Homo-oligomer: A and B are copies of this chain.
Amino acid sequence: MPSLSYQPEVLQLASWAEALKPSSIQHLLDLTARPNIISLGLGLPAAELFPAEPFARVAAALLEHDRSALQYQPAYQPLKAQIVRLMAQRGVACREEQIFLTAGAQQAMSLLTRLLLEPQGCVLVEETIYSGFLQAITPFEPAIVTVATDTDTGMDVDAVEAILKRERPALIYAISDGHNPVAVSLSQEKRLRLVELARRFGVPILEDDAYGLLSYSSNPLPPMRALDADWVFYLGSFSKILAPALRAGWIVAPEGLVAKLAVIKESTDINTTTFSQRLIAAYLETGALPEHLAVLRHEYRTRRDAMDGALRSTLPPTARWRQPDSGLFFWVELPQGCDTSRLLEVAVTTAGVAFVPGQAFSVGEHRRAAHCIRLNFSNCAPAQIAEGVARLGQVIQESAQGV
Q: Which residues of A contact B (CB under 8 A)?
A: 1, 3-4, 7-15, 17, 20-23, 25-26, 29, 42, 44-45, 47-48, 50, 52-53, 55-56, 59-60, 63-64, 67-74, 103-104, 106-107, 110, 114-119, 121, 132, 135-136, 138-139, 165-168, 170, 199-202, 204, 230-231, 239, 243-247, 254, 257, 259-260, 262-264, 266-276, 278
Bound CA–CA A27/B20 (angstroms): 38
Q: Is the CB of A56 within 8 A of B48?
A: no
Q: Is the CB of A11 within 8 A of B230?
A: yes
Q: What is the minimal beta-carbon distance from A90 to any residue of chain B, in angstroms?
A: 22
- The winner among A12, A69, A167 for most chain B CB atoms within 10 A is A12
Bound CA–CA A260/B11 (angstroms): 13
Bound CA–CA A135/B135 (angstroms): 22
Q: Is the CB of B114 within 8 A of A17?
A: yes
Q: Is the CB of A63 within 8 A of B67?
A: no
Q: What is the minimal beta-carbon distance from A5 to any residue of chain B, in angstroms?
A: 10
Which of B14, B69, B170, B274 touches A121 (beta carbons < 8 Å)? B14
Q: Is the CB of A267 within 8 A of B139?
A: yes
* A interface: dominant SS: helix
Q: What is the minimal beta-carbon distance from A221 to any residue of chain B, in angstroms?
A: 25
Which of B244, B254, B267 touches A72 (beta carbons < 8 Å)? B244
Closest B residue to A230 by CB, please name it: B11
* This protein's copies in its complex: 2
Closest B residue to A9 by CB, please name it: B202
Q: Is the CB of A12 within 8 A of B71?
A: no
Bound CA–CA A7/B168 (angstroms): 11
Bound CA–CA A63/B53 (angstroms): 7
Closest B residue to A121 by CB, please name it: B14
Closest B residue to A73 by CB, please name it: B245
Q: Is the CB of A107 within 8 A of B268?
A: yes
Q: Is the CB of B269 within 8 A of A14?
A: no
Which of B50, B59, B276 touches A71 (beta carbons < 8 Å)? B50
Q: What is the minimal beta-carbon distance from A241 to any residue of chain B, in angstroms?
A: 12
Q: What is the minimal beta-carbon distance from A292 to any residue of chain B, in angstroms?
A: 13
Chain B residues whose C-beta falls within 8 Å of the C-beta of A243 in the assembled complex:
70-71, 275
Which of B13, B14, B67, B121 touches A47 (beta carbons < 8 Å)? B67
Chain B residues whose C-beta falls within 8 Å of the C-beta of A68 in the assembled complex:
47
Which of B106, B263, B266, B275 touches A245 (beta carbons < 8 Å)? B275
Closest B residue to A106 by CB, please name it: B270
Bound CA–CA A48/B68 (angstroms): 9
